[in-house]
Structure 1
């Protein structure tokens, strides 16, 4: 619908604009976070436009093992319990 696909920076910016999310302060407590199973498209590329991208690695190793683990991280971060 927006004429772009991951990992094009415009896709991330336009998606944030559509939901009213501000990516200007990467280190604020209110930063935009996303997760996905492509380390390049869902983790590294979003970081280039101010989104904290995380890797969903259900096989173990680097990244989050489940969406529940990620949700727990987001909730802890928003309440100031995690960094």
Structure 2
């Protein structure tokens, strides 16, 4: 098995914490949304709590964390809205 490349888009507080709104992540073939999230938590521990409660969209449709990823997918991570 090889690696796949997934485009990751982040918004609001996650984008602010990372300093960028979009990047490409390489993962092992057969990875799930959850494995991508775990990878991000390890790389960016400052956003781990936000990732736990964020919505996930895979190719512009809401997705479960168990969903499988394929090369060329686009994953959007949408943190909860806050404010008053």
Give TM-score, length-normalised by structure 2.
Answer: 0.31
- Relative contact order (C-alpha < 8 Å, sep 6+): which is higher? 2
Give TM-score, length-normalised by structure 1.
Answer: 0.32
| Structure label with greater radius of gyration | 1
More strand by share: 2
